[in-house]
A and B are shown apart, each in its own frame.
Chain A
């Protein structure tokens, strides 16, 4: 059985006190016994001396009549039990018990309890005169001592009881705060992190309470941080799921749009003399372009779009777009730019970065329907480990911050939590697609950056975009715009595309330009078709990712068989963007789905018109 601490303290105090009291009583008892013995011994010695002196003359004279009353009076002292005087022959001549006179003086019984006995010889230089036997009893003295002892015992028992009560009280006083600490700990274990303990005093328990409060405060902070992180993680996971969905939809939609727009372009060429049909086809084409813009935003959000990053200065980007931004925000909103000098360079797609700034500005403008101030700021910042821990997905390092603030309506917490979700909007129907901020998020994250939003209802919002500082600071020139050569006619082009609609469209476009087209539904079919084709192949136009062998591997195999084979990649598949980024770094030619007839013809003409060493010269 485990005793409570206060009971153990009470028991310990009581036991200690009992031991001390018993020890003291035992010591006093021993001292009293010694004192009684010494008292009786001294008394016996005094009696021996006194009675001995008085008896000496009687023994010399042999006359004891005067001595007998004297000895009998000694028994008035309660300690004196018996006094006997014997002559030198050992015959009792005087005794407190007169009947003993005439008897021989025998040694006393040493086993009789409570008696102090002594026999002293009375003598002079001539020899013994007689013997004096005195017996004393310590009964009176011991009785007085025992009464005192009993009183002391009673007081001791009271003392022990009082000690026990004191121990219980002390234990209760001491453990009350410990119990409070235990209760608080239990509440903490149950998840109540708001529990706190009083910390008055300066003793150990107060120090422990302060440590406990510090611990709960720290736990609260950590748990709050954990909750925020979990919320951010959930948001990120939700965004990731939405991104995958949007990316998948956009990919399939792009293939469809490629077919729709392609055939629409072909149709427009066929209906020059049919104005009504042409109007209809133009309407279809315009809708297709709108749909293509929408899918680009979806791809941007899903971070699956094809980026062409370059080293750039965000101050220059903001300055360069300022005129356009002023037109966008209107006259009721004042635009303020605060750009830090010597801002670091970043690596990002200039067009997409511009899209980020534009989307944020438009969002801020819409938050200030009655006008206000819109502030664009840039600055160099360093995000440390602590910041990175509080913001999952952020890597510590150097960033360039672009902050767009408004003095508009602001957002409540729920709105702020969902503002980056695609198609989430608080604007009236028809005023926004709900893809502006999600596009910003996708572009920035795809660029290795980070986005933060801060808002207070009625006071405005601030969106902060962090682009990572470029590791290599060499400014890159923009792509050289070369004149597109005329599209050659004739020759064989191998088209590898798993989408039948896209494959058929590409075949129609190329055949209209006089090319012979070898179709393949997969890389394996393309390789087989190339082996069976005895003549030269001007160009391999291939999707990047196909079932089985991907487009790049297939192209490399074909180049091994046909050195100098020109390759043009096309992609609308969601994961193409990742591969595409690697391909672009290798200066690979690429066309993004959906493409128009003109765009495909122009890209094919560009690839075939470039002179490359070892390449197959296109037909004239």
Chain B
């Protein structure tokens, strides 16, 4: 018995379509909730399908970014500097929030400050995540050497890191404030920051260099104008949404020079962008 037959893509010749790649800083489901409406709106704007894609980890995302598999990408500042810009991607819009990260512990944790992490386990997102870069530099400044004074454990996403801290598998988690607020609402729990990390420029939408100028401008206009229906409320925290003239604007214009600070970080960490 045939229960249902419905396939829009199976068997059909592929149409000329774009892919919006998003770096895997959240779970795939969360990324889909937040970025699928954006991809849809971008597709309507430029008149061709824009599909959402991500990867299992930062390394894979970096590989694909370098390979230029995404026509459009949302990348964290270190990946922009390390992979996107060298691959010819052009920044078109950035989150209105700078990335403000910290080291968090559970609200009931006895750990009061960063130095209490000695002998503890600190959870972090992927090795290539922006927060990981910031946390490693901060530990360096505090004189806490990973592997000697504390143990570092990396997780695929910020949410995974927070979940491990919540259940006690790690003693603290380094992540962004906006992600902690979203996690606290979802999981009905409370975290406490024990060490603020220095803010860095926000994650950024980039467009591959061969995308026609007209489409690139249309993409920029769409993102900056704030005409992005369907984005869930969580995105306001993620992107620092701001209501301007009756529209919630999540993104703003961006300039490559804003990311020179990132390039400096990388140089300090010994990684030449």
Chain A residues within CB distance 8 Å of chain B: 37, 40-41, 44-45, 56-57, 60-63, 66, 86-90, 104-108, 110, 115-121, 123-131
Contacts and interface: CB of A to CB of B under 8 A. Distances in A.
Nearest to B31: A60
Nearest to B29: A57
11 contacts: A86-B9, A87-B9, A88-B51, A117-B2, A118-B3, A119-B4, A119-B6, A120-B4, A121-B8, A126-B39, A126-B49
A120 B2 CA distance: 12
The 6 closest A-B pairs by CB, nearest first: A57-B28, A126-B39, A90-B10, A118-B3, A124-B36, A126-B40
A87 B8 CA distance: 11
Interface stretch (B52-60, B95-103, B163-171, B243-251): B52-60
A119 B10 CA distance: 10
A88 B9 contact: yes
B14 interface: yes
A124 B32 contact: yes
Contacts of A130: 9
A94 B49 CA distance: 24
B27 interface: yes
A462 B10 CA distance: 126
Given A63-B55, A118-B3, A119-B4, A126 B37 contact: yes
A456 B29 CA distance: 126
Residue of B6, B8, B9, B32 contacting most chain A CB atoms (<10 Å) = B9
B: contact size bracket: 35 or more
A125 B37 contact: yes
Interface string B153-182: 000000000000000000000000000000
B187 interface: no
Nearest to A114: B1
A84 B8 CA distance: 16
Contacts of A56: 28-29, 32
Given A60-B32, A90-B10, 15 more contacts: A57-B29, A60-B54, A63-B55, A66-B56, A86-B9, A88-B9, A90-B11, A105-B11, A110-B2, A116-B3, A119-B6, A119-B7, A121-B8, A125-B230, A126-B51
B79 to A, nearest CB: 16
Interface of A is mostly: mixed
A108 B28 CA distance: 30
Interface in B243-266: none
Nearest to B49: A127
The CB with the most chain A CB atoms within 10 A, among B8, B27, B29, B230, is that of B8
B1 A131 contact: no
B54 A61 contact: yes
A37 B1 contact: yes
B3 A61 contact: no
Contacts of B9: 86-90, 121, 128, 130-131
B36 A125 contact: yes
Nearest to B35: A126
A106 to B, nearest CB: 7
A502 B98 CA distance: 181
B202 interface: no
Looking at B3, B11, B20, B54, the one whose CB has the most chain A CB atoms below 10 A away is B3
A247 to B, nearest CB: 113
A63 B27 CA distance: 14
- Most chain A CB within 10 A, of B50, B53, B55, is at B53
B108 interface: no
Given A45-B3, A60-B53, A125-B230, A107 B8 contact: no
Contacts of A129: 51
